[in-house]
Amino acid sequence: MARFGKVLTAMVTPFGEDGSLDLDTAALLAKWLTDNGSDGLVIAGTTGEAPTLTHDEQIELIGTVVSAVDVPVVAGAGSNDTAAAVELTERASEVGASGILSVAPYYNRPSQAGMAKHFSTVAAATDLPVLIYDIPVRTGRKVDTATLLELAHGVANIVGIKDAAGDPAETAQLIARAPDDFEVYSGDDSLTLPLLAVGAVGVIGVATHWTGAEHAEMISAFEAGDVAAARRINADLQPSFDYETGLAAPNPIPAKAMMRLIGLPVGRCRPPLDVEPDGLIEAAAAVLAGTRHGADG
């Protein structure tokens, strides 16, 4: 069994009409997600708009969700400033997080040695298990497989990775050479099934906001050896994958529109992601109609 569960949702952060943090809706949304297929939640990650949250808001949000649900809560606590990442990691640990998600330092683009030191320093700040978040399309720098292996073998509480690097063949190399208990989570919804094929244990998803049950069924089918069924479910999920991000509506703009359509008042994103393209709700409705939630009315 995967340490944090097989289907984790990288939860959007609800805001009020004035842009303030809406903790009541955060608790409501967290409960709804766990009732609809999520084994665990990732809070204050990319989808949670961490770049526009203050550190105090991040910790308030994490603590609220921890109190609201009985599933693992992995806290986004990364930064491109090692000292800030350490502070967030310590504070997230204190409010009851089950684990830490630490993104590769972005914008300043450190060397591989610099990233190894960064992650080791963060891990030393907590007794919690730490997942590295590798998403070079956003950070500007890939965490090399050699660096990941150094950390996986050398730092006891670095236990896995959220893999959004988009290279299943390279991920297969990582899994083959990492410790047996090192866990890979797909960080790209459209690559979850390919990553399962090379040894990933689950997904930290965005479309899982509205397709958590379908993702759980796909993973279960694959693990049971029913690859044909897993492929059918994955094919049915393609419209959700196409919808969830794009140049006109980057993640998490579409996810928030979908949640509002379903009836969860998560509000809009904070600037600079507060501009929604025309037709987004109509696109969400078309996607939802093809899912279990749409079929249920």
| Residues with active-site annotation | 133, 162
DSSP annotation of 127 reads: S
The residue written with tokens 């709804």 in the block is 32
- How many Cα atoms sit within 13 Å of 287 on the Cβ side? 26
Angle at 159 between CA 234 and CA 157, to 5 degrees: 160
* C-alpha–C-alpha distance, residues 289 and 297, integer Å: 8
The residue written with tokens 């603590």 in the block is 63
| Beta-ladder partners of 182 | none
279 token code pair: 């037709």
The residue written with tokens 């919804």 in the block is 189
Q: Check: CB of residue 69 under 8 Å from CB of residue 30.
A: yes
125 residue type, one letter? A
Q: Check whether the bond before 252 is cis (ω within 30° of 0).
A: yes
What phi, psi does 105 have (nearest 5°)?
A: -55, 130
